[in-house]
């Protein structure tokens, strides 16, 4: 009898001590918090801001995309109605998507190649190239709104470009043209204004290429062009891929036409871009539900194109 009571008391003590003893998982969490407390405190404002100003609006817009929401107190669900209207009924959707895709797929190669060639030139071992690097990068410091207004004046009917074309008896409407090709071609010329940013990225990639590779290629009898094709381009491929992805994402979200194009759209929607369509539907027409659906379509569209680029990269280039 006594032994039974004693064993029960011991079991009770063991149970109580086990209950009081923290689990290994909680102890590990406390240790991680103690070791990285200062770091988490520094990161906390960024995480909180990201949650409030990015994550929450994304979730809210996803919910709104399935509702007919115009900013009023009352709104009702429409299911996939916004998406059906987008693909089947919206009179400007396909025109806007075509403008945006055309602009992105033509603009990215132009800026990519131009900035690459410019970086190659300013990477030459001459004393004065430092000044040219600064000069070519300075336009990137000018805010986009300011540069847009400058280009608007230069492309005007009595602007610099038309005065120059007038010397040859020519005239162009540029941004005011009804042709998407003519109007968007004007934006391509504007993009050359900001190739200095890409130039800096290319220079950083060039500096990371070991000099020994060029020396070995030179010993093997490779000329300048062969060294460029067989050393510079392959070794800077990661930067090429990075620039292609970031430029493609940026151009698909281009909204600069709000600054200089007629009504932000151009005549007969010749410069109507997808981001501007989202802006108009949300803040001009107060169709927040439909604007949210457009935003999520653009996100998915960009995600698919990015996934295709990553898949192509895995087939073309492998880091050994």
Of 80, 57, 55, 56, nearest to 290 by C-alpha is 80
The whole-number pLDDT of residue 244 equals 92
Structure letter (DSSP) for residue 82: H
Among all chains, which residue has been given the structure tokens 């280009």?
Answer: 151
**CA-derived radius of gyration, the chain:** 29
Q: How far apart are CA 291 and CA 297, in angstroms?
A: 10
Q: Is the pLDDT of residue 2 over 50?
A: no
**pLDDT, greater one: 163 or 287:** 287
Q: How far apart are CA 206 and CA 231, in angstroms?
A: 10
The answer to whether residues 175 and 188 touch, using CB atoms and an 8 Å cutoff, is no
Confidence of residue 295 (pLDDT cuts 50, 70, 90): very high
Task: Cite the residue boundaries of each domain of the chain with CATH code 1.10.3720.10.
Answer: 84-316
**pLDDT, greater one: 224 or 102:** 102
Instruction: Compute φ and ψ for 143, nearest 5 degrees.
Output: -60, 150
Write the pLDDT tens digit of every residue in 24-35: 666 677 777 777
CATH number of 84-316: 1.10.3720.10
The answer to whether residues 270 and 178 touch, using CB atoms and an 8 Å cutoff, is yes
Write the pLDDT tens digit of every residue in 215-272: 898 888 888 888 888 888 888 888 889 999 999 999 999 887 776 676 777 777 888 8
Among all chains, which residue has been given the structure tokens 């510079």?
Answer: 232
Q: Is the pLDDT of residue 205 over 70?
A: yes
The whole-number pLDDT of residue 275 equals 93
| Pick from 87-91, 215-219, 230-234, 315-319: least confident | 315-319
SS3 67: strand
Q: What ranges make up the beta strands (E) of the chain?
A: 67-68, 76-77
Q: Is the pLDDT of residue 317 over 60?
A: yes
Of 161, 180, 193, 191, nearest to 261 by C-alpha is 180
Over pLDDT 90: what percentage of the chain?
33
Write the pLDDT tens digit of every residue in 41-55: 888 899 999 999 999
| Count of all residues that appear for the chain in the document | 320
Q: Is the pLDDT of residue 10 over 80?
A: no
Write the pLDDT tens digit of every residue in 134-167: 888 888 888 877 887 888 788 777 788 778 877 8
End-to-end CA distance of the chain: 74
The whole-number pLDDT of residue 5 equals 46
Q: What is the mean pLDDT of residues 115-130?
A: 84
């Amino acid at each position: 009898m006594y032994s039974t009571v004693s064993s029960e008391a011991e079991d009770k003590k063991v149970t109580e001590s086990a209950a009081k003893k923290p689990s290994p998982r909680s102890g590990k969490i406390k240790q991680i918090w103690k070791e990285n407390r200062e770091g988490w405190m520094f990161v906390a404002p960024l995480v909180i801001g990201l949650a409030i100003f990015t994550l929450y609006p994304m979730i809210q817009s996803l919910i709104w995309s399935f509702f007919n929401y115009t900013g009023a107190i009352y709104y009702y669900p429409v299911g996939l109605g916004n998406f059906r209207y987008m693909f089947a009924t919206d009179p400007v959707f396909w025109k806007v998507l075509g403008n945006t895709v055309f602009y992105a797929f033509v603009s990215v190669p132009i800026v990519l190649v131009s900035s690459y060639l410019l970086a190659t030139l300013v990477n030459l071992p001459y004393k004065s190239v430092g000044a040219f690097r600064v000069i070519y990068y300075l336009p990137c410091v000018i805010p986009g709104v300011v540069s847009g207004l400058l280009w608007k004046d230069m492309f005007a009917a009595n602007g610099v470009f038309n005065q120059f074309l007038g010397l040859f008896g020519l005239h162009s409407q540029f941004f005011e043209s009804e042709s998407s090709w003519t109007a968007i071609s004007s934006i391509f010329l504007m993009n050359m204004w900001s190739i200095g940013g890409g130039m800096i990225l290319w220079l950083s990639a060039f500096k990371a290429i070991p000099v020994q590779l060029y020396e070995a290629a030179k010993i093997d009898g490779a000329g300048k062009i062969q060294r460029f094709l067989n050393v510079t381009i392959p070794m800077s491929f990661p930067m090429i891929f990075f620039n292609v992805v970031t430029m493609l994402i940026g151009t698909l979200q281009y909204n600069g036409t709000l600054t200089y194009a007629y009504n932000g759209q151009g005549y007969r929607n010749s410069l109507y871009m997808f981001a501007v369509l989202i802006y108009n539907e949300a803040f001009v027409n107060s169709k927040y539900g439909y604007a949210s659906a457009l935003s999520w379509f653009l996100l998915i569209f960009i995600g698919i194109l990015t996934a295709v680029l990553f898949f192509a990269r895995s087939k073309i280039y492998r880091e050994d």
